A and B are shown apart, each in its own frame.
Chain A
Amino acid sequence: MIKRVGTILLVLLIFSACKKQEELEILPESNDPVFTLTGSIDNQQMTYLAGNNGMVMRNGVEARNGISYFYSELGNTDRKFRIGLYDGHVAIPDFQATLKSGDTLFLAKKFAEPLALLSKKYLTNAAQIERIDWYVDNAFVGQDEVELLEAGKFNVCGHFTFKNGSQQTICNQMLLGFEQEVDFTIRHFMNEVGSVNLWMDGNLSEISTVEWYNDGQLVSTAKSLTMNVGFSQSIITCKIKTIAGAERVKRILVDGKVSGNYIEDFDILLRETIQTKWDFGVGLEIYQNGSWYSSFEVENYKSFLFISKVEYYGVNSQNKPIYKVTSNIDAKLKNASSGQAITAKLQTVFAYILQD
């Protein structure tokens, strides 16, 4: 009897041990929210946590008036907080901005005064000019007198109609509200036999290379140029590189007929401003109750963004390094249409993706 019972038990034991054993999924460790925003907006406490309540941290870079604007946006469909950082040293290609612990960044504000006045009255040959049609980034913006108020890098084209009926168009890149890096103006003098002298007026100590082109043909690499253009109009292009790597390209129109139908360097149309340039300027935008509030719309000269910690977080899908930036913000924001201003006192951890 005992043998029989023992056999049954043994069979049951073997049977139970031989059942197929499937592997279960190994779950990753839970962690705390990484990207956060806490504090008060208009004295109302709020907490945004990426991963809760549909909140997502999005990162990107967008061109705002031709300038790279690196942003991190934390929010859902109802509420959004966006912190952005303008590129700096924009005249230097591939300049890599880095954030460090202890940095204090200022908040960019819209410029109150024109950054450039596109007006023939500031041109020395205004008497020869019948009309100027101004185009900014291929869009017609006005005739004769146009104020440029926004910061950015613009392709400004002037379609000149001279008194004698001739027409010429010339385009130049204008950098407004940011450091020019290469600050000079091309001057020229045309003698009666079609010989023209061109030179750069400004601080030339940082210039590394200069290239002069006449209607697309390289004609010189000297800092000044003397050439004969005959009795015709020619577009002279000057390409300059500084020791720091900044590049500028300027175009002017010279008139070999010496009839005054030339077009000067557009930089003479720039206006000096006392406002801080937007290089590495910070922008804050908050979307709540169906409206956007922006730090660009309000004076924030007492406001700041203090970076208390920068930590490496990982890489994104393009294998670009991501940094986790902890910061404190004390700023005002304003709704552009209603004029309603709000105050934000925030602590935030946002993602900053280092761009190439």
Chain B
Amino acid sequence: MKQAEVDSTSKRVSAICALMHRAYRDLRFYPQEHPVPKETVHLLAELLARFLTEEGSLVLGVEEDQLVFGEEVVYAHAESRDNLAFIMFRDGLRAVSFHSGLDADEIEAFVRCLAHADDLLSNEQDLLTVFWEQDFVHVDYEAADPFFQGGVLREETIDTLRETVLRRLEETDLSLVDLKADAALQLTLVPHLGTRPQDFVLTSQELQDSELRVDGMASALDDFALVLLELLANRDKGTESDNAFSAAMTAVVGSYLGAADLEGLCLFLERVQCLESSRECAEGTAGQLLTHTVSSDGLADLIRAGDRGAADHTRVQELIDLVGSCDCSVLLDLLADSEERNLRKSLLSFLQTGEHVPGRELLPLLGDPRWFVARNALQLARVSHDRLLIPSVERLTAHEDPRVRREAVRTLDALAGAEALPTLTRSLADSDSAVRTAAARSSLRQGGSGQETALVEQMKNRDFANRPGEEVEAMFLALISLAKERAVPTISKLSRRRFLHPTPVAVRLAAVSALGTLPSPAARRFLDEAARSGEESVRLAAKKALVRQGP
């Protein structure tokens, strides 16, 4: 080949290598089905196909930091981490060849192997193994040391084998044996055992079952998990391999989590819990396994998986309970620190539904400066029923954020009941409507005379009639609950129609609704009058209330 032709071919090969590097980079950085790497791989396949059609094959020598074609360097890259030559060289590859017939799928598979080469080390994998498993049809490769990576197949191994064969052949040398005469000396006739070839034929059912069995072979992880459980039930504790065993158990949990196989994970942990119950392993093993394995990212993935459907939701609930029973702090940290609102919401829901979070774990969160952390902690405090939290919750009724104050009022109502009346009474005068509403509802359950006064005070406010209907109704209901018949005049007066300062219809509707709950003649008179109102909505509501009250 003339020098000019060599130069031209080398340039073409350089262009192929450059495109291969681009494909490698794109496959690393873009998601699997992204059009960018697809396009690059397509271009690479076209370029290679053209070259291979003309030249038949392309053989690239792999050196430590460069690829060579013949004697020409056709690829080099400054950064060794991303150097294709280095990536192949470190795993023992010394040459790669591409042959005609190579298509886009095969070249993509090849470059994809290179793109994920860094991940292989963690699993004691290497490119040779991955290439071997890929079983390329149009890509060949040469390895420096096919068997031993630095070692050699010793000649003595072959020599010993040869000697063994010679010895064995000598031992069984029957060349001089007269079968009849020497039978007793060297040969024993084996009686016919009745082995018949037809007995080896598989029935159609056996065939079908076996093929199904091969196709549906259980995952290595499921089989491995079962063996670990058997060992857990039987092994002598305190052996040297305890650490390895624990690591393997953790790896199983991690693998289930990584594969988002919640069914497998729950089954595995349930079995560990069964062994806990039968005292085959220490109590809390399952919870510790899960807690020690799951990272905050993994936990977040797990919680998101709860949205996949009812079955997964139940499983995630079980797993969250299990983590919570072992170490609540990881869950609470995520609840506090996650920036994903929906995630916090889901986790909060799991925590509220499941086993209660111990109150002491919530104390730091109740003091957290972030409003949503404090509010979430208050919600959990409410279901914890832990009276230890009352002082912290009371403090939060004065929090600067009304959302926290409202939650604090609700929680205080649930935790402290009548004990918290002074605080709840103060909250009736809160600047925020939602807080006042919550306090009013609390008064309905817990209230006393102090509450009645505070409620009436609120109703005397000039702006009362213009407050949200929900608040007005809550206040009316609370007042009726506390003052009974005495509440009727106050409510009637507030809901009366005026010319100069028209009372909103919402107030009259709230009054109808509230007085409908009071079985008294005064209330009934109010309802009778309202049932004749010119306002249709009030009239209808009053009629319904009368029906509910009965004759």
Interaction A to B: no
Q: A residues engaging B (CB < 8 A)?
A: none
